[in-house]
Amino acid sequence: MFLSAVDYFENHYYHWNRRFLSIIGLWPEQNKKEQVFRICTVTIFQISLLMQQLCQLCTSSFEMEWIINAVQLLLPIACSLCGYYTITFNFIKVRMLHFRMKFDYEQISDKKEFTTVKKYADQSKWCTLIITFFLYSYGILLTSPSILNVVLYFFGLLDDTQLTLPIPIGHILNAGLLYYAILFYEAIVIFIVTTAALASYATYILLVQHACSQFSIIKMKINQPFEQNNSDIFAWYDSAPQYQYTWIVDIIKRYKRVTELIDLTNSLTEKIYLVEMFLGLFLIIVDFLYLFQMTAVQWMLQLEFKVDSIIKPLYSLIPALCVMVGYYTGLFNSTTAY
């Protein structure tokens, strides 16, 4: 066992994923009572928000702009719920995947294998950080107009009737305790929903990266005898049959482990992946529909500054960038793992 590989696994490779999964109660090595409490808390917040938006969507009058704004909130919530509860209801598979990955790290025996795994670990880490930036930016874009209005209200630049909420639930008549309580509640809900989506997406990328690292090690093991000079190759051919047998068995075992990991990953993600891609694509379409109705003529005729005119176009950019990260990861791995 290459000891530094296990240390790298615990403190670097899974560092950000462990944090995000622990927040929402899905880290495999988390305390059971704490895990149940966090899962119940996340469930209450997400379901209450989803039901609130569905009720408003069903009871409101049909206005295209309002419908688009509601769908812009509903689709990310639906994506987050799908990913979160896929992991929750298949938690045994998640634990199996976690311990399989940890076992693979314990089998690293030399620096070349460690370097190969480290390369994919770094890619996974950077993908996680990029997705973190995009998704939390999305959450900040939702909450920042309301927070900005509160700041302007404190400085006397806005009336209390102009205060808004990140997730509209009706007209706010005054800046009382109820308004600030709802604003605080919605900010927490947005953070939880964003973290749940982030943990699901980052975990999937981590599994893909780990499988690619194992295939790269298998490729390296197969080519190892043939990358030596001629004298070393002849010496390897003349080596004891037991050594050659060990080499072949090691490759077979590694291949069996990684194919089992891929099968387990597919059983966990293959159905939900299509749902997530459909919802993500639908979200991008809805965002662009909103942009199309904000024509250049309308912008030129609006003399007053509208925060939505700046923030709303970014809504379509962030889901598209998240999809691009997933596409880049798959494309890059397809050219480097084999």
**136-143 mean pLDDT:** 83
**243-258 mean pLDDT:** 84
The C-alpha torsion from 125 through 126 and 130 to 136, rounded to 10°, is 30
d(CA 182, CA 165): 8
- Give residue-wise pLDDT tens across range 187-200: 888 888 888 888 88
* Rounded (to 5) percent helix, strand, coil in the chain: 85, 0, 15
How far is C-alpha 265 from the geometric centre of its chain's CA atoms? 15
pTM attached to this predicted model = 0.76
- Give residue-wise pLDDT tens across range 272-316: 777 777 777 777 776 666 666 655 445 444 444 444 544 555 555
Ordered DSSP codes for 101-132: HHHHHHT--SHHHHHHHHHHHHHHHHHHHHHH
Average pLDDT, the chain: 74
At residue 332, the pLDDT reads: 47
